[in-house]
Structure 1
Amino acid sequence: MLLDVGGVLELVDDAAWPLRFRARWAERLGLTEQEYDRRLESANLPDTRVATGVADRFWSGYGAALGATPAQTAELVGDFWDEYCGVVNAELLAALRSLRGAVGLAILSNSGDGAREEEERRFGFASLFDPILYSHEIGVSKPDGRAFAIALAQMDARPHEVLFIDDVDENVESARRLGLHAHLHEDTAGTLAVIAQAVGSAAR
C-alpha cells in the first residue's frame, strides 16, 4: 500500500493554509500581500520541492527578501511547518498500524526539503512506513510517472499489487494509467472501507 501524506495521513487543507500563512506574515512584516509575493518572486530561491540540502539557503533568502529579522525568520519557518504538517489523521494511522506485518506500507509524497525531519519529529512515520519517498529526495514529483516507478522499485512490487491513496485527482489518475489500484481520498471513512476491501481481497 502506497500513501500520500498531506491531506491523507495528515489532516491539512493544502488549498487554504498557504493563503492564511501569506496573509498573516504579510501583515506582521508590514507588507501588502502583493508586495510579499513580488519580493519572493524576485528572490531567486532554490526549488525545495525537488532538491535536498537547500532548506537553509531557501529560508535565509526567504526572510531576507521579506525584510524579516533572523528572529522573525525563525518564527516564520516554525509557523510554516506547523501549517504544512497540520495534525495527524489518527484514525487512519491506527488502522494502518493494525495491518503492520500483514501488508507492506509505504509513502510517496510531494514535499519540500525539511519535510522528512519535521514529519518524523511530529508523527514518527518511520516506525510504520518503509520506504518513505519524498519528492525533494527522489528529484521528481507526482503525477510524473517516474515518481511511481521509483516507488514500485523501492517496494519491489508490480503495479497491480499496489493500492495507491492520494487526495489529488491528477495523481490518482496517473497511478491508474500506470496500472496501480488507486483511490481518491475524500474522507477517512471511505478510505478505510477501500483499504478493508483491498486487504480482504489480498487475503483470499
Structure 2
Amino acid sequence: MTSKPWILFDIGGVFALADDGVWQKRFSLGLRDLSGLDDDQFGACVDAADLPRIDIESDVETEYWSRLGDALGLDETTRHEVRAQFWDLYCGTPNEQLLSYARALPAPVGRAALSNSADGAREQEERRFGLSSVVDPIFYSHEIGVNKPALAAYEIALAGMGAGAADVLFIDDHQGSLDGAAQAGIRGILHTDNTTTIAAIEDFLATYG
C-alpha cells in the first residue's frame, strides 16, 4: 500500500460538464424523431436490437451502433451523425478550472479517476480533454465491468492505485456514488462548484497523515 494521498475524481459532471440526466433524454427523443417511429414502435425496435451493455463491456461500441442503426433503419451517413452527436452530448465541455487545478497538484499527490462510462469514452475524452495528463490511472466502468455505486468499483480503484481507503478523497457529483465510496471506507465530497471542491481537496491534503 502507498502512504501518499490520492484524489479520485469522477469525470462526467466534474471534469466534463454536461446536463446529466437531461442530454440522455434529449438524445433519445431526437433519435426517435429521426427514426419516424412512435414511442411504442421505437421502444420495441431498440429492445429487439439486443444492444450490448456499453456501460460495462469493452470493444462493443461498433457493434452497438451497428445494431441500433439496423434496428432503426438508419443509413450509413445518419449513423455517423448520430454517433457523433452522442459523443458531443456525452462529453459536454471541459471544466477548465478544475482540470488545470488537478493537473497542477504537486507530484506526491496521486490523481486518478473513477467514472461510469460508455465504451469509447477513453478515446473520446482523451481527444477532447487530454485526461491522461491530468489523472492516471483512469477506471472506466466499461473497462472494469462494474458501475458505481457498486462496492467492487471502489475496490478495483483502490487496488489499481495501490492505496488504502484512508489515503483517498473521492470527488463526485452524485450522492449515490459517494454513498458507495463510503461503504468502501473512502471519504468523499459532493461536487457542486469548483470553489467548494478545491477547498475540500486543500483541506484533505493539509490534514492528511
Distance 1:192 1:59 in 2: 38
Matches of 2:43 and 2:125, distance apart in 1: 27
Offset, 1:42: 1.8
TM-score (norm 2): 0.93
TM-score normalised by length of structure 1? 0.95
Partner of 2:96: 90
Structure 2, unmatched stretches of 5+, are: 1-6
Contact 2:189 2:197 in 1 (8 A): yes
Aligned-residue RMSD, C-alpha: 1.3
Number of equivalent positions: 203
Distance 2:103 2:142 in 1: 26
Residues 54-81 of structure 1, C-alpha deviations (whole Å, 9 max, x = no match): 1111110011111110110111000000
SS in 1 for 2:119: coil
Structure number with higher relative contact order (C-alpha < 8 Å, ≥ 6 residues apart): 2
Q: Work out whether residues 22 and 33 of structure 1, in 8 Å CA contact, stay in contact via their aligned partners in 2.
A: no
Of residues 153, 160, 163 in structure 1, which corresponds to 2:159? Answer: 153
Indicate conservation of the 8 Å contact 1:23/1:33, yes or no: no
Q: State the match for 1:166 in structure 2.
A: 172
1:29 Cα offset (Å): 2.8
1:198 aligns with 2:200: no
SS at match of 2:159: helix
SS, match of residue 105 in structure 1: strand
Q: Deviations over 1:114-166 (max 9, x none)?
A: 01010011111011211111011111111111111111011110001100111
- Give the corresponding residue for 2:52: 46
Distance in 2 (alpha carbons) for counterparts of 1:184 and 1:84: 21
Matches within 5 A, 1:1-204: 1-202=7-208
| Counterparts of 1:102 and 1:32, CA distance in 2 | 55
Identity of aligned residues (%): 43
Letter of the structure 2 residue corresponding to residue 173 of structure 1: D
Q: CA deviation at 1:53?
A: 0.8
Larger deviation, residues 176-185 vs 69-78: 176-185
In 2, Cα distance between the equivalents of 1:168 and 1:107?
15
Shift of 1:34: 4.1
Question: Helix, strand or coil: the match of 1:108?
Answer: strand
